[in-house]
Amino acid sequence: GQQVMQIPQYQHVQEGEDFTTYCNSSTTLSNIQWYKQRPGGHPVFLIQLVKSGEVKKQKRLTFQFGEAKKNSSLHITATQTTDVGTYFCAGRNFNKFYFGSGTKLNVKP
C-alpha cells in the first residue's frame, strides 16, 4: 500500500540554526504538499510541488521535489521561535493525500 515516510521524527535546534525534514514515498506521487501544524491546531497548507525536480522558496523555507517524484524536502534557514510546530508532507496519489508522520521542530531561543 501507499506509504509516506518522514524523518526525523523530532528536531531540536537553537534559534538561528538550519532545519531540514525529508519525505520519501514508496510510489511515484502526482504532487506533494507540505503542511505545518502548531500544537493544538490543525494542519495549515504551506506549498504544493508538482513538477519533477521542482524547487520553491518562501522566504526562509525551501521546498524540493525529487526527480523521480518519490521524495521531497523542506529546509528552513536560520530558524526562529515562530517556526515551532510539526511539519507534515502529504503525497498525493489518485486524489488522496497520504501524510507522513511529521517532524516536530522545537526551536530554543
Q: What grid cell was written down for 34? A: 507540505
Establish if 102 lies at the interface with other proteins (CB under 8 A): yes
In the stretch 32-61, what mask flags binding to other proteins with x, by CB under 8 A? -x-x-----xxxxx--x-------------
Establish if 31 lies at the interface with other proteins (CB under 8 A): yes
Establish if 85 lies at the interface with other proteins (CB under 8 A): no
CB of 75 to other proteins, least distance (A): 19
3-state secondary structure the chain: CCCEEEECCEEEEECCCCEEEEEEECCCCCEEEEEEECCCCCCEEEEEECCCCCEEEECCEEEEECCCCCEEEEEECCCCHHHCEEEEEEEEECCEEEECCCEEEEEEC
User: Residues in contact with other proteins, total (CB under 8 A)?
Assistant: 24
| Binding interface with other proteins (CB under 8 A) | 4, 6, 30-31, 33, 35, 41-45, 48, 88, 90, 92, 95-102, 104
